Amino acid sequence: MRRGEFLLIMALLTIAASFAKANSGLAGGDTPATPEATARVESKDSVGESAPEMSFPKSIAGDKTLRSAYLHTLRILGSRNECSNFFGGSGASVEVFKHLLDKVQKDHMWAPIGIQMTGLTTLVFNSRTNTEYRVFDKVIINADGPFYHRQFSDVRFVRVGSFEPNTNGARVLMLLHELGHMMKGDDGAWLLPNDGKDGSLSQVNSQKVEAVCRQQLSALGKEDRSDAQYSLAGKAELDESDAGKQMSATKRKNQQPLSTIPILKEN
């Protein structure tokens, strides 16, 4: 495990522990625009009860890219800031986000799609956090889309909000976008309206989330630039190493005899 990821996990554990103490007395956008078939249940989930274990959903355990996006998003939602407040506060938003990730699967879809939520929905009300949200039956992250690629085949993907595809900022913005389709605001409406059949509305929804979460997402953009510089430095070292190996091979070749076939002399 990289040192940065270890420190991030430790920070999230500290956040989770503080939730546990505070709650000890408490228990691209591709969402379909079709009417929903729903069931209603009551949740007794508590952030303080589950978050300290810091267990990853099975769907992301072996996916380094998705795991990193999961941790970055938890760090944003787990802190008091304008972004987490937009999603109902840290306690409520972390609970719903974890339900979102529990449903995640990877599949191959039409290239421009980043994340798609489909199927029947379950309406959930958590009386402890006074939060109402919906959980979709299927949450698909496109393995061939902008979550993992800047370009696939001959299709170059457009920006996600103001972020280049296949970057930390883009991935977290996609996840927060889907979270907005799951949660209700103070007015009783979904934070983001369904936009599965309207690409223009999907862009507007992403811009709305980015406007609220700009500070936190911009910080991820700085990490992207740092990672890019690190990668370029590593590539330069590899190129230099390859050049050295090529020169050594050429030198050895020049030192070898032109032929190893014995020359027979006539007596």
Q: Is 87 within 8 Å of 213 (Cβ atoms)?
A: no
| 96 within 8 A of 182, measured Cβ to Cβ | yes
Average pLDDT, integer, range 22-28: 35
pLDDT at 1 over 70: no
Residue located via tokens 């719903």: 96
Of 57, 64, 65, the C-alpha closest to 150 is 65
Q: What is the pLDDT of residues 169-210, one digit of tens each?
A: 999 999 999 999 999 999 999 999 999 889 999 999 999 999
If one compares 165 and 250, the residue with the highest pLDDT of the two is 165
113-162 pLDDT, tens per residue? Answer: 999 999 999 999 999 888 999 999 999 999 999 999 999 988 999 999 99
Residue 39: pLDDT band by 50, 70, 90 thresholds? low
CA distances from 246 to 158, 239, 252, 253, 256 (A): 39, 10, 10, 10, 16
Rounded to 5 degrees, φ, ψ at 22 are: -65, -30
* Beta-bridge mates of residue 142: 107
Decide if 92 contacts 131 (C-beta within 8 A): yes
- Comparing 11-15, 213-217, 259-263, the range with the smallest average pLDDT is 259-263
Domain boundaries, the chain: 3-219
Question: What's the predicted TM-score (pTM) here?
Answer: 0.71
Q: Which residues of 146-177 are buried (b: 16+ CB within 10 A; e: fewer)?
A: bbbbeebeeeebeebbebebbbbbbbbbbbbb
